[in-house]
Amino acid sequence: MSEIIEQIKSVISENPVILFMKGTPDFPQCGFSMRTVQALKACDAEFVYVDVLASPEVRSNLPHVSSWPTFPQVFVNGELIGGCDIVLDMFQKGELKNILEEAMADG
């Protein structure tokens, strides 16, 4: 297995909530990433992020790890919960806040 895939898996397992996005939370580089950040912040989530535009190796290899082709990607407790549409749907249903609170309590 390649070193970058090992690094990706390590970063995912070490952080309770991680967002792989285009840009940064303060300066998202796409609307999907922006909306996902807004949902996470609305839940008062503590999360780390990886800017896939600044990390082309991560951008090209993460889909092999997650089996998810697009960005952003949100992982909670090592599991992919989804991209923008799924995260926003969970946020609107009130599920996202519960999942994030549990992850932060465990972390």
- Report pLDDT for 107: 58
- Report pLDDT for 104: 82
- Report pLDDT for 36: 98
- Report pLDDT for 106: 74
Give 10-residue mean pLDDT values along the chain (107 residues): 91 97 97 98 96 96 96 97 97 96 81
Q: Which class is 3-99 in CATH?
A: alpha beta
Strand-pair category, 48-51 with 73-76: unpaired
User: Is residue 16 within 8 Å of residue 76, measured between CB atoms?
Assistant: yes
- Report pLDDT for 1: 59
- Report pLDDT for 3: 94
- Report pLDDT for 105: 85
pTM of the model: 0.95
Tokens 């082309």 locate to: 56
d(CA 57, CA 53): 9
